[in-house]
Chain A
Amino acid sequence: MTTIISAKDVHLSYGNYEALHGVNLNFQEKELTALIGPSGCGKSTFLRCLNRMNDDIENIKITGEIKFEGQNIYSSKMDLVKLRKEVGMVFQQPTPFPFSVYDNVAYGLKIAGVKDKDLIDQRVEESLKQAAIWKETKDNLKRNAQAFSGGQQQRICIARALAVRPKVVLLDEPTSALDPISSSEIEETLMELKHQYTFIMVTHNLQQAGRISDQTAFLMNGDLIEAGPTEEMFIAPEKQITSDYLNGRFG
């Protein structure tokens, strides 16, 4: 197992309010890590630090070190565009552009300057297959992506993120806006893909974290309480508060 992203003493504050008080966490390659914790604990904020999606927020201050493949992503030399091609992201709400399915999935390649039509065609097909949405879309690639159901849209978004062949995909509660059937379809998709990609997923759904993640990290009030292999954590958490949360005593 090699570490692909390592966060060291990450502090983040909006103005005077500190949302993260020094998070240390390593992410292993080709594993699915679940970030869990009560609402407002900073798990989504932390996730967005990993591809610098927090940069645009006003008055934000981030200190500490986040290394992606050994390089500090917050160094001034880091090329944001390149980083985000390596570390993709899928959001809570399905966010397909109001274009055709094909244009959606090809978007990342197009902006990366890929002109080769055959390559794009091939990537679009591959990515849609990987995201388990090829069957539903292969006959209407020209159809507007927003005409599909929520679960299908989310899988189109996953395909869109995968099309640029990122090393890491960040998922910010990818199933919380979906119905149970669509959710389980997304989960199956992730289970199949986690041997090829590194996933880091924020989820409110503890059972989901238990089902599909390899590593789990529990955050609360801006602190990382505990992190470790999912099975160990769910069966025998080291700390009482983790156990309380996992057993539904609060949160």
Chain B
Amino acid sequence: MNDKDKLKEVVDQAIADQQVPHVKLKKMGPSSVDIEKLTKPSKETHQEYWGKGLTYFAIGLIIVLVVSIIGFVGYHGLATFIDNHVNVFHFLTSTDWDPGEGKNHVGAAVMIVTSFAVTLLAALVATPFAVAIALYMTEYSSKKGASFLQSVTELLVGIPSVVYGFLGLTIIIPVIRTLFGGTGFGILAATLVLFVMVLPTITSLTVDSLKAVPSHFRKASMALGATHWQTIYHVVLRVATPRILTAVIFGMARAFGEALAVQMVIGNAVLMPYNLVSPSATLTSQLTSQMGNTVMGTLPNNALWSLALLLLIMSLVFNFLVKLIGKRGQK
């Protein structure tokens, strides 16, 4: 039998190839083991200590940094309320912002409202576009197209915010001015600038979330007679939703913290926005535009620190939300 012979040949070869381990063991007798060497730390163990020490040092440094930043911002931010006796409730709800005039004129409500308005609007406008682009990149386009779009989004992330602000100032402001009248500065302009800025962030994170959906879900759905779109809509997006929400929150955190570009198009007047094209100010824009005009330790300066503290707290909230949604998604 030809096949049998072949099989035998293969097996014989395998046995011949096999190296028998006990031959090597015989060469190394117990006498050659150096007891001294075995009981002392080896070179590799020392490396281990070094490596461990280095990582602990780096972590310690980061912890000290974070604690001192929070401590510093907290100390100055709370000084407004402790040393200058500003009412916290007043600070959060009053629209009267003129800290130079005394403790009854430190109301940050305008900045809070405007900051949240631009953040939410920008995320609201950017998310559908980001999800659509991400879906195109992961589900429809060729590999070449996807990698091209990938580099475009990376480029958009890399452009400095001052450039976005400048573009907004030169293009968006005049357009809004001619369309809606007024100065053109305001929430609408800030939203549009932030839209372009957070779009790549949300897109690239959404792409990651869609790629993380195991392909066997897609196959299983297709095998049940689902079309490509049905699979995307009913399975892929549904499975990816927690991570897409995380992407949106990351985008919102970026929008909330963006200072320079927003400052250039928001108008920088501490006025409650009564529509989308009236000049206003955000927490960040107020900080950047006023920080050079105050003296350390005075109420106006402390009031700015309070705004900074508010920003810090908000970024902690965003982080917390990301964690929370991540946990929900794992269930």
A160 proximal to B (CB < 8 A): yes
A192 at the interface (CB under 8 A from B): no
Most interface-central of B3, B217, B224 (chain A CB within 10 A) = B224
> Which partner residue on chain B sits nearest A55 by CB separation?
B222
Give the shortest distance, in Å, between A101 (CB) and chain B (any CB): 15
Chain A contacts for B219, CB-based, 8 A: 53, 91, 95
With CB as the reference atom, state the residue of chain A lying closest to B233: A111
A131 to chain B, nearest CB (A): 14
Name which of A27-35, A77-85, A115-123 contacts chain B: A77-85
Across the interface, do A111 and B234 meet the contact criterion of CB distance under 8 Å?
Answer: yes
Q: How far is the CB of B11 from chain A (nearest CB, A)?
A: 9
Asked if B216 and A111 sit within 8 Å, CB to CB, the answer is no
Known A-B contacts A95-B219, A95-B220, A97-B220; A111 and B226 likewise in contact (beta carbons under 8 Å): yes
With A91-B216, A93-B216, A164-B224 in contact, is A111–B4 under 8 Å at CB?
Answer: no
Q: Which residues of A contact B226 (CB under 8 A)?
A: 81, 107-108, 111
**Interface bits B235-252 vs A (CB < 8 Å: 1, else 0):** 100110000000000000
Closest-CB distance, B214 to chain A (whole angstroms): 8
Q: Does B179 lie at the interface of the complex (its beta carbon under 8 Å from any beta carbon of A)?
A: no
Of residues 113 to 169 in A, which have CB atoms within 8 Å of B's CB atoms? 144, 157, 160-161, 164
Chain A residue contacts of B7, Cβ below 8 A = 244, 249-250
- A98 interfacial by beta-carbon distance below 8 Å: yes
Cross-chain contact A112 with B225 (CB below 8 angstroms): yes
Whether A110 is near chain B, meaning CB under 8 Å from some CB there, is yes
Q: Is the CB of A110 within 8 A of B234?
A: yes
Chain A residues contacting B4 (CB-CB under 8 Å) are 244, 249
Tell me, rounded to whole Å, the shortest Cβ–Cβ distance linking B143 to chain A. 10
Within 8 A of A (CB), among B171-227: 216-217, 219-227
A198 interfacial contact with B, CB 8 Å: no
Contacting pair B220 A244 (CB below 8 A): no
Q: In chain A, residues 215-251, which have Cβ atoms closer than 8 Å to a Cβ of chain B?
A: 240-241, 244, 249-250
Question: What does DSSP make chain B's interface, helix, strand, loop or mixed?
Answer: helix
Q: Does B331 contact A (CB under 8 A)?
A: yes
The docked-state distance in angstroms from the alpha carbon of A65 to that of B258 is 61
Known: A84-B224, A84-B225, A244-B3. A97 touches B235 (CB 8 A): yes
Distance between Cα atoms of A81 and B219 in the complex (Å)? 13
B286-330 interface bits toward A, Cβ cutoff 8 Å, 1 = contact, 0 = none: 000000000000000000000000000000000000000000000
**C-alpha gap A120/B226 in the complex (Å):** 17
Question: Does A89 have its Cβ within 8 Å of any Cβ on chain B?
Answer: yes
What string of 1s and 0s marks CB contacts (under 8 Å) between A58-84 and chain B? 000000000000000000000001111
* A51 interface residue (CB < 8 Å to B): yes
Return the chain B residue nearest A56 by Cβ. Answer: B222
Q: Does B230 contact A (CB under 8 A)?
A: yes
Does B16 touch A at the CB level, under 8 Å?
Answer: no
B224 near A107 with CB under 8 A, answer yes
* 21 examples of A-B residue contacts, CB within 8 angstroms: A53-B219, A81-B226, A84-B225, A89-B223, A91-B219, A91-B223, A93-B216, A95-B219, A97-B217, A97-B220, A97-B221, A107-B221, A108-B226, A111-B221, A111-B224, A111-B226, A111-B230, A161-B223, A161-B224, A244-B4, A249-B7
Interface residues of A (CB under 8 A from B): 51, 53, 81-85, 88-89, 91, 93, 95, 97-99, 107-108, 110-112, 144, 157, 160-161, 164, 240-241, 244, 249-250
